[in-house]
Amino acid sequence: MSASVSVAGCPQGGKQGPCQPAHHVSQETELPRPYPNEIPHNEKLLSLKYESLDYDNSENQLFLEEERRINHAAFRTVEIKRWVICAMIGILTGLVACFIDIVVENLAGLKYRVVKDNIDKFTEKGGLSFSLLLWAILNASVVMVGSVIVAFIEPVAAGSGIPQIKCYLNGVKIPHVVRLKTLVIKVCGVILSVVGGLAVGKEGPMIHSGAVIAAGISQGRSTSLKRDFKIFEYFRRDTEKRDFVSAGAAAGVSAAFGAPVGGVLFSLEEGASFWNQFLTWRIFFASMISTFTLNSVLSVYHGNAWDLSSPGLINFGRFDTEKMGYTIQEIPIFIFMGVVGGILGALFNALNYWLTMFRIRYIHRPCLQVIEAMLVAAVTAAVGFVMIYCSRDCQPIQGSSVAYPLQLFCADGEYNSMATAFFNTPEKSVVNLFHDPPGSYNPMTLGMFTLMYFFLACWTYGLTVSAGVFIPSLLIGAAWGRLFGISLSYLTKGSIWADPGKYALMGAAAQLGGIVRMTLSLTVIMMEATGNVTYGFPIMLVLMTAKIVGDYFVEGLYDMHIQLQSVPFLHWEAPVTSHSLTAREVMSTPVTCLRRIERVGTVVDILSDTSSNHNGFPVVESNPNTTQVGSGGCLCNSGAGSWLLLSQPVFVERANLSLVQRRLKLKDFRDAYPRFPPIQSIHVSQDERECMIDLSEFMNPSPYTVPQEASLPRVFKLFRALGLRHLVVVNNHNEVVGMVTRKDLARYRLGKEGLEELSLAQT
């Protein structure tokens, strides 16, 4: 009865007891790794233990029994609840976006006014270095606060959150990523970063914020606040929660860019494995509500209550087809801009990669991170100041739309054009570059600005502050795009190309596409943000070119960061050249198996064994009639989902009690979801260890399996399409021979020289 016999695997060796957990056999044959010796295995990285979400856990007996009880009417109630939740997600996401927008606008306005007054004062009487100091100190102190809360309270709130949400939707649970605390830090952090004048945007973090809101609402409680509203208990499982998180992410995109369809496509592109019409429709609903809420509230706030002209945090302004149409001859030029964007994007990513490596190696202490953030803030202010100071590009203030015109050394009635770009929130700078009339900037200004901002933005991304890379990318692109347009107009003697704003738009698309490499969703987001369907075609071409060119050199920024963190991320398809690999070669083996009636001690020992490389354990049935061919156990069931639950002590304890009286209820699972206490935290007495436990209630009675001859793409497809966490590999006699986990699949990657195997963080 003891867990000792472990010959070569479960079927061959397992007599009656469970087989021993063991490490991957297949990993011993190491394939070449990308970035050899470069991934630093310091404590911080390795301390991240990623768990997989399990979309298939709703099939354990307890859930199944509930599903069977559910009738038509109950289903309708559940369905209506889903819609209500989506509406709430939309409203709350919209309101959070409003909050961020209004606070940023006011605080940034205050800061710029103070600095402007100071500059105006010192311009006349000399001593502008005081202004520089004031600006730098203001920035640095605001950023310090923003960085401290992120670094010391919730490090997962750093950055845009898009890589984290991508991982979550892909099925990897990053600790703390959808907690309320993260949301609060994220929102405060992004406000402080933008107000602190960093080269960042507030749009990316909206996606993360929307996701957290969705996760919170759909569970009907906050574990951080220890409040349980006792509603929406039906949705306390991975698959439902994930669906709502996609809706939240979409609502975030929608609020950020006023792009409801773009939001839906973003969620689908990043998250959907199995397309479900009703789910998509709900996601769309949440997105629409979100942009509508933002629009209404901001319209009221701006005084013109009913005009609904602010669908997103950033609006590109109206691109009129009549005024700024494009012609077919321009399309090759746009494609060329895509190439430039791809190259610049790849450069950005490569620089950022080195920087990130440096940061992982040397700047992993929180206080160092805060100091770096302050340094960047101060340098940003200094660079801006010097650029403005040195610029001699004066423009008439008449009829321009500049918010904080800095006169500096310009004549009266004129303003410094460089200040439009540097002395402003990045969102406003982007819109100015799109829509300022021709001649508002001289080429020198644009060139210098592009160069400086490129390096600043690159340095800024990856700081321990909460901030996005969308807007800086757009800004860099808009600047060189406009420069490109002006040069083109100059070269062709201004024949047909009138408006540099059009080129600024294409440049912005090219640069953003070159950095993030999003495709379909980004096209639609840009299309919706410009409010012009006709621009869709050139934007699509530009983004596609930028992606192709960029991919030739280096990965997209988000994918790069995901890979740097060794997340077991599954792409859409198995690598094309992997058809020769079979499940047998990919799987983890031997597998720890359990029997339907098992000794509690054995179960506790297995669950406590952290060296086990999977969380699901096949429950096998030993058939007394077929022992002759060495098949000790034959797969009957795998308790994938429920075993995770059982791996938590509360349940082992209660499960023991069940032998006496109390039966474990579905409610117990739901109340504990998703933070199950670790098995080590409970004590199982020796008496209890000798009890027997019936696992049939917690297991999935009909797990998905694959034969061991199945090819890797086939296993991959099954895994991806069904959102699995474990897949049991069986032989011809239906005996368990191995287990495929997300990590086993994520290891294989198509590199430049064929199939590569990655090293991943512990699952």
Which residues within the stretch 681-710 sit at the binding site for a copy of itself (CB under 8 A)? 701-707, 709-710
> Which position among 215, 255, 268, 314 is part of the footprint of a copy of itself (CB under 8 A)?
268
> Which position among 43, 72, 126, 683 is part of the footprint of a copy of itself (CB under 8 A)?
72
Residue whose CB is less far from a copy of itself, 188 or 706: 706
**Do the Cβ atoms of 487 and 377 come closer than 8 Å?**
no
Closest CA to 144 of 358, 465, 467: 465
Q: In whole angstroms, what is the distance from residue 528 CA to residue 521 CA?
A: 10
Question: What's the Cα-to-Cα distance from 563 to each of 212, 243, 357, 573, rounded to whole Å?
Answer: 23, 24, 12, 17
What SS3 state is found at 61? helix
Q: In whole angstroms, what is the distance from residue 80 CA to residue 93 CA?
A: 20
**Do the Cβ atoms of 374 and 140 come closer than 8 Å?**
yes
> Which position among 88, 536, 585, 672 is part of the footprint of a copy of itself (CB under 8 A)?
536
> Which position among 27, 750, 756, 757 is part of the footprint of a copy of itself (CB under 8 A)?
750
Residue whose CB is less far from a copy of itself, 176 or 584: 584
CB of 418 to a copy of itself, least distance (A): 33
Bridge partners, 740 (sequence order): 727
# chain residues binding a copy of itself, by CB under 8 A: 95
CB of 216 to a copy of itself, least distance (A): 24
Q: In whole angstroms, what is the distance from residue 171 CA to residue 562 CA?
A: 13
Binding flag, residue 274, a copy of itself (CB under 8 A): yes
> Which position among 4, 327, 398, 661 is part of the footprint of a copy of itself (CB under 8 A)?
327
Q: Verify cis geometry, omega within 30 degrees of 0, for the bond prior to 332.
A: no
What SS3 state is found at 221? strand
Binding flag, residue 513, a copy of itself (CB under 8 A): no
Kindly indicate which of the ranges 190-198, 320-328, 472-480, 654-662 contains the residues binding a copy of itself, using the contact rule CB under 8 A: 320-328
> Which position among 42, 129, 309, 627 is part of the footprint of a copy of itself (CB under 8 A)?
309
291-296 LR contacts (CB < 8 Å, sep 24+): 291/94, 291/254, 291/255, 291/258, 291/259, 291/260, 292/90, 292/94, 293/90, 293/91, 293/93, 293/94, 293/95, 293/98, 293/255, 294/94, 294/95, 294/97, 294/98, 294/101, 294/255, 294/258, 295/258
Q: Give the single-character DSSP code of 458.
A: H
Ramachandran class of 71: left when φ > 0, alpha when ψ lies in -120 to 50, beta otherwise: beta
Binding flag, residue 540, a copy of itself (CB under 8 A): yes
CB of 365 to a copy of itself, least distance (A): 39
* Binding mask of the shown chain, residues 541 to 570, with x at each position contacting a copy of itself by CB under 8 A: ---x--------------------------
- The distance in angstroms from the start CA to the end CA of the chain is 30
> Which position among 219, 280, 395, 466 is part of the footprint of a copy of itself (CB under 8 A)?
280
> Which position among 30, 36, 306, 675 is part of the footprint of a copy of itself (CB under 8 A)?
306
Residue whose CB is less far from a copy of itself, 686 or 732: 732
H-helix or E-strand spanning residue 172: strand 172-173
CB of 307 to a copy of itself, least distance (A): 6
CB of 529 to a copy of itself, least distance (A): 9
Residue whose CB is less far from a copy of itself, 200 or 297: 297
CB of 272 to a copy of itself, least distance (A): 5
Q: Give the single-character DSSP code of 39.
A: S
Residue whose CB is less far from a copy of itself, 37 or 628: 628
Residue whose CB is less far from a copy of itself, 261 or 600: 261
Question: What's the Cα-to-Cα distance from 216 to each of 38, 223, 361, rounded to whole Å?
Answer: 38, 9, 35
Q: In whole angstroms, what is the distance from residue 71 CA to residue 83 CA?
A: 19
> Which position among 718, 749, 756, 762 is part of the footprint of a copy of itself (CB under 8 A)?
718
> Which position among 28, 226, 230, 275 is part of the footprint of a copy of itself (CB under 8 A)?
275
Closest CA to 612 of 739, 707, 731: 739
> Which position among 288, 346, 408, 542 is part of the footprint of a copy of itself (CB under 8 A)?
288
CB of 669 to a copy of itself, least distance (A): 18
Bridge partners, 706 (sequence order): 729
The footprint of a copy of itself on residues 618-657 (CB under 8 A) is 621, 623, 625-626, 628-629, 634-636
Closest CA to 283 of 245, 255, 320: 245
Residue whose CB is less far from a copy of itself, 32 or 439: 32
Binding flag, residue 269, a copy of itself (CB under 8 A): yes
Q: How many CB atoms lie within 10 A of CB 493?
A: 6
Closest CA to 204 of 166, 152, 149: 166
Residue whose CB is less far from a copy of itself, 327 or 398: 327
Kindly indicate which of the ranges 9-17, 413-421, 442-450, 516-524 contains the residues binding a copy of itself, using the contact rule CB under 8 A: 516-524
> Which position among 272, 376, 377, 652 is part of the footprint of a copy of itself (CB under 8 A)?
272
What SS3 state is found at 56? coil
- Token pair for 478: 């808009």
CB of 461 to a copy of itself, least distance (A): 24
CB of 554 to a copy of itself, least distance (A): 18
Kindly indicate which of the ranges 111-119, 190-198, 260-268, 418-426 contains the residues binding a copy of itself, using the contact rule CB under 8 A: 260-268
- Token pair for 501: 């704003």
> Which position among 230, 328, 675, 687 is part of the footprint of a copy of itself (CB under 8 A)?
328
CB of 608 to a copy of itself, least distance (A): 30
Q: Using the structure block, give the residue that is written with the tokens 């709900």.
A: 282
> Which position among 35, 38, 67, 491 is part of the footprint of a copy of itself (CB under 8 A)?
67
Residue whose CB is less far from a copy of itself, 634 or 672: 634
> Which position among 103, 136, 527, 745 is part of the footprint of a copy of itself (CB under 8 A)?
527
Q: In whole angstroms, what is the distance from residue 280 CA to residue 704 CA?
A: 26
The footprint of a copy of itself on residues 143-172 (CB under 8 A) is none
Binding flag, residue 273, a copy of itself (CB under 8 A): yes
Residue whose CB is less far from a copy of itself, 154 or 240: 240
Residue whose CB is less far from a copy of itself, 260 or 568: 260
Binding flag, residue 260, a copy of itself (CB under 8 A): yes
**Do the Cβ atoms of 684 and 594 come closer than 8 Å?**
no
Torsion over CA: 398, 400, 401, 406 (sign): negative
Q: In whole angstroms, what is the distance from residue 500 CA to residue 330 CA?
A: 13
* Sheet containing 634-638, strands listed edge to edge, beginning at the edge strand earlier in sequence: 594-595, 618-621, 634-638
Q: In whole angstroms, what is the distance from residue 560 CA to residue 477 CA?
A: 21
Q: In whole angstroms, what is the distance from residue 667 CA to residue 233 CA?
A: 8
Q: In whole angstroms, what is the distance from residue 179 CA to residue 658 CA?
A: 33
CB of 201 to a copy of itself, least distance (A): 21
Q: In whole angstroms, what is the distance from residue 50 CA to residue 39 CA?
A: 17
Q: In whole angstroms, what is the distance from residue 757 CA to residue 568 CA?
A: 12
Kindly indicate which of the ranges 68-76, 188-196, 481-489, 556-564 contains the residues binding a copy of itself, using the contact rule CB under 8 A: 68-76
